[in-house]
């Protein structure tokens, strides 16, 4: 089994998470794209790869390929011509009917098809077992005052840094109902927004993990010990990971979100898996969501995982 690992971490995690849940040996190919990857290739090809990455493609060819993102779709179909079964996450562009299984978010309104599996959010690398392990590893977090609220900040998808006033406002809003705040900034949050958040949280019992801080990242521990989770709605990955917990999940709107992000939020609200931040702190019951595990089970059920 091969995993085509896109350079974008969130995209690669969708395929890697499925591979890890399948529990079979796999090879992760770190992809590097050349300028031709921007083209909407209508046929199977490896032309989008940079020369070095293209040279890494050698037989024996895999019997199953997991991929994610439009750019990797033509390469996955190129491997299908060499005998691989194909499982692809996210909209592939052209050639959708050629994949053995397409894993598509409900927010993209995928048309019904025998090879389409709609899911809530996106697949990822956090499993229920991983969350349980994090709860044991970060047991010291239980000493913080309840309710412990995890505040997960993303940032603009195609811009530099979250606006500091937005980060500060979110810190004050969450601090208004939290006993303690477990906050983490991402690569896209930016230093200015992170420091604005730190200032807003200063009067409160809190822990703040800045992107690039030394030591282990407490992200999983924060999720494992949170009594509620607040996630900025720009991060599909963090929203999807938060749903593995049993805690109420609230979506914060940082502004500037497009139609697809809003469609994602609406799909989570409709399923009872999340509510807007305006509804906090009122608790609500929800079942933990394990869509990555469901995808892995579907792959096995369809006989796409090679024996042995």
pLDDT value at position 156? 87
User: Does residue 181 lie within any of the structural domains?
Assistant: yes
Q: What is the pLDDT of residues 15-52, one digit of tens each?
A: 999 999 999 999 999 999 999 999 999 999 999 999 99
- Assess whether pLDDT exceeds 90 at residue 256: no
Give yes or no: residues 250 and 114 share one domain: no
pLDDT band at 77 (very low <50, low <70, confident <90, very high): very high
Q: Quick one: tokens of 170?
A: 């979110």
Give yes or no: residues 17 and 158 share one domain: no
User: Does residue 141 lie within any of the structural domains?
Assistant: yes
Give yes or no: residues 169 and 265 share one domain: yes
User: Does residue 107 lie within any of the structural domains?
Assistant: yes
pLDDT value at position 215? 86
CA distances from 16 to 11, 71, 112, 148, 271 (A): 9, 16, 25, 30, 26
Q: What is the pLDDT of residues 212-223, one digit of tens each?
A: 898 899 999 999
Please answer whether residues 225 and 245 qualify as being in contact, where contact means their C-beta atoms are separated by less than 8 angstroms: no
User: Does residue 183 lie within any of the structural domains?
Assistant: yes
- Assess whether pLDDT exceeds 90 at residue 66: yes
How far is it, in rounded angstroms, from Cα 49 to Cα 67?
A: 14
pLDDT band at 201 (very low <50, low <70, confident <90, very high): very high
**CATH number for the domain that contains residue 168:** 3.40.50.2000
Q: What is the pLDDT of residues 153-174, one digit of tens each?
A: 999 876 679 999 999 999 999 9
How far is it, in rounded angstroms, from Cα 99 to Cα 88?
A: 7
**CATH number for the domain that contains residue 69:** 3.40.50
Half-sphere exposure of 92 (CA within 13 A, CB side): 29
Give yes or no: residues 112 and 166 share one domain: no
Helix, strand counts (H, E) of the chain: 10, 12
Mean per-residue pLDDT of the chain: 96
User: Does residue 63 lie within any of the structural domains?
Assistant: yes
Give yes or no: residues 208 and 106 share one domain: no
Give yes or no: residues 116 and 135 share one domain: no
Q: Quick one: tokens of 195?
A: 């420091």
User: Does residue 289 lie within any of the structural domains?
Assistant: no
User: How large is the greatest C-alpha to C-alpha distance in the chain, in angstroms?
Assistant: 60
Q: What is the pLDDT of residues 176-187, one digit of tens each?
A: 999 999 999 999
Q: Give this prediction's pTM.
A: 0.94
Give yes or no: residues 15 and 94 share one domain: yes
- Assess whether pLDDT exceeds 80 at residue 103: yes
Give yes or no: residues 135 and 243 share one domain: yes
Q: What is the pLDDT of residues 244-255, one digit of tens each?
A: 999 999 999 998
pLDDT value at position 159? 67
User: Does residue 138 lie within any of the structural domains?
Assistant: yes
Give yes or no: residues 43 and 9 share one domain: yes
Q: Give kind and range of the element (H or E) at residue 78.
A: helix 73-80
Q: What is the pLDDT of residues 289-305, one digit of tens each?
A: 999 999 999 999 999 99
Give yes or no: residues 156 and 73 share one domain: no
- Assess whether pLDDT exceeds 70 at residue 146: yes
- Assess whether pLDDT exceeds 70 at residue 117: yes
How far is it, in rounded angstroms, from Cα 265 to Cα 276?
A: 8
* Cβ neighbours of 264 (radius 10 Å): 24
pLDDT value at position 212? 86
- Assess whether pLDDT exceeds 80 at residue 210: yes
Please answer whether residues 184 and 152 qualify as being in contact, where contact means their C-beta atoms are separated by less than 8 angstroms: yes
How far is it, in rounded angstroms, from Cα 141 to Cα 53?
A: 43
Give yes or no: residues 15 and 98 share one domain: yes
pLDDT value at position 97? 95
Helix, strand, coil share of the chain (percent; to 5)? 40, 20, 45
The whole domain housing 42 covers 2-124+294-301
Q: What is the pLDDT of residues 258-274, one digit of tens each?
A: 999 999 999 999 999 99
Question: Domain count of the chain?
Answer: 2
User: Does residue 288 lie within any of the structural domains?
Assistant: no
Give yes or no: residues 61 and 136 share one domain: no
């Amino acid at each position: 089994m091969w995993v085509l690992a896109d350079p974008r971490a969130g995209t690669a995690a969708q395929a890697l998470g499925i591979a890890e849940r399948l529990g079979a040996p796999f090879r992760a190919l770190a992809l590097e794209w050349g300028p031709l990857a921007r083209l909407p290739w209508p046929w199977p090809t490896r032309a989008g790869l940079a020369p070095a990455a293209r040279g890494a493609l050698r037989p024996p060819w895999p019997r199953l390929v997991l991929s994610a993102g439009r750019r990797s779709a033509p390469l996955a179909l190129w491997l299908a011509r060499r005998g691989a079964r194909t499982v692809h996450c996210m909209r592939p562009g052209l050639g959708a009917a050629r994949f053995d299984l397409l894993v598509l978010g409900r927010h993209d309104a995928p048309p019904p098809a025998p090879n389409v599996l709609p899911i809530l959010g996106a697949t990822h690398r956090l499993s229920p077992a991983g969350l349980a392990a994090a709860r044991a590893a970060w047991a010291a977090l239980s000493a913080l005052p309840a309710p412990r609220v995890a505040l997960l900040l993303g940032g603009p998808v195609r811009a530099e840094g979250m606006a500091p006033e937005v980060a500060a406002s979110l810190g004050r809003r969450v601090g208004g109902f939290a006993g303690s705040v477990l906050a983490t900034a991402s690569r896209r949050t930016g230093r200015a927004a992170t420091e604005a958040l730190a200032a807003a949280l200063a009067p409160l019992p809190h822990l703040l993990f800045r992107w690039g801080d030394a030591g282990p990242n407490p992200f999983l521990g924060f999720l494992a010990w949170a009594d509620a989770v607040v996630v900025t709605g720009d991060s599909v990955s963090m929203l999807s990971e938060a749903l593995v917990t049993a805690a109420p999940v609230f979506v914060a709107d940082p502004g500037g979100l497009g139609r697809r992000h809003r469609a994602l939020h609406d799909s989570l609200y409709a399923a009872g898996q999340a509510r807007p931040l305006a509804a906090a702190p009122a608790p609500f019951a929800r079942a933990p969501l394990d869509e990555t595990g469901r995808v892995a089970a579907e792959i096995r059920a369809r006989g796409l995982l090679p024996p042995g």
